Amino acid sequence: MTREEADREISAAIREHADYHRAPGSLASEIRAALPLESEAPQRPRWHFWLVQGAAMAGVALVTWAATMGYLRPGDDERRAGEILASHVGATLGKRLYEVASSDQHTVKPWLSSRLAYSPPVADLSAQGFELLGARIDHIDGRQVAVLAYKRHQHVIDAYVWPSRDRAAELELKRDGFNLARFASGGMEFWLVSDLNRNELGDFTRLLAHSNATP
């Protein structure tokens, strides 16, 4: 028996006799459940379908998805969203949500102003169901920024605020189960991040923008 014959034989043995482990049926649904972007955006194509359809469909569906979701490509916004999300998650996990704990805007605002080169707006929205917990200072994009921590039911909302000359376009993102929103108002750029649902975070966005526009 030659080397080549032996090789062919062993390769046939693997092909025909070794176990091929098919993915368990539950795996696709587990993955779908773990993926952050989900069906709450019905206007988008159901891109995640490729997971179910198997590897053969993967190419086509991925490309379609890549094209439709092209606007999410990492750029400045994407990078900043990543930084903010990391900062928020870190603060939530480390329980260092705020360095000054106060629901009083007249305590929080001077605390921030004395530590930053700018004075961020601090809105009291407790009447609307968003309780101010306090504030901290975090590093985003290489500079120190004000972070206001609010609470809605059991959900913490972090509001990152810094002065910006450009009027940043409104933006809504969903990352790893967190909702992020960005808007500009009164010369300030705001980034909100929370595990609160999108609708309520949207309400909060409008309230903040409104209170900042009419001091």
Contact segment (CB under 8 A) with other proteins among 66-74, 142-150, 160-168, 205-213 equals: 66-74
* Stretch of 7-15, 107-115, 133-141, 158-166 contacting other proteins, by CB under 8 A: 7-15
d(C-alpha 86, C-alpha 160), whole Å: 13
20 near other proteins (CB under 8 A): yes
Least distance CB 204 / other proteins (angstroms)? 26
Q: Which helix (H) or strand (E) holds 11?
A: helix 3-17
- Whether the Cβ atoms of residue 137 and residue 116 lie closer than 8 Å to each other: yes
Q: Which of 39, 55, 114, 154 binds other proteins (CB under 8 A)?
A: 55
The sign of the dihedral angle between the CA atoms of 141, 146, 151, 154 is positive
**What span, in angstroms and rounded, lies between the C-alpha atoms of 156 and 149?**
7
Beta bridge partners of 156: 151
- Binder of other proteins out of 40, 46, 59, 164 (CB under 8 A): 59
Q: Which DSSP helix (H) or strand (E) runs through 210?
A: helix 198-213
Span interacting with other proteins, options 13-21, 95-103, 110-118, 146-154, rule CB under 8 A: 13-21
Tell me 169's DSSP state: P
- Residue window 73-92: x/- pattern of binding to other proteins, with contact defined by CB under 8 A: xx------------------
Whether 141 contacts 83, CB under 8 Å: yes
* 41 binds other proteins per the rule CB under 8 A: no
Least Å distance between CB 121 and other proteins? 33
Q: Is 13 in the site for other proteins (CB under 8 A)?
A: yes
Q: Compute how many other C-beta atoms are within 10 angstroms of the C-beta atom of residue 31.
A: 13
Chain positions contacting other proteins, by CB under 8 A:
1-3, 5-7, 9-15, 17-24, 27-28, 30-31, 34-37, 51, 54-55, 58-59, 62-63, 65-66, 69, 73-74
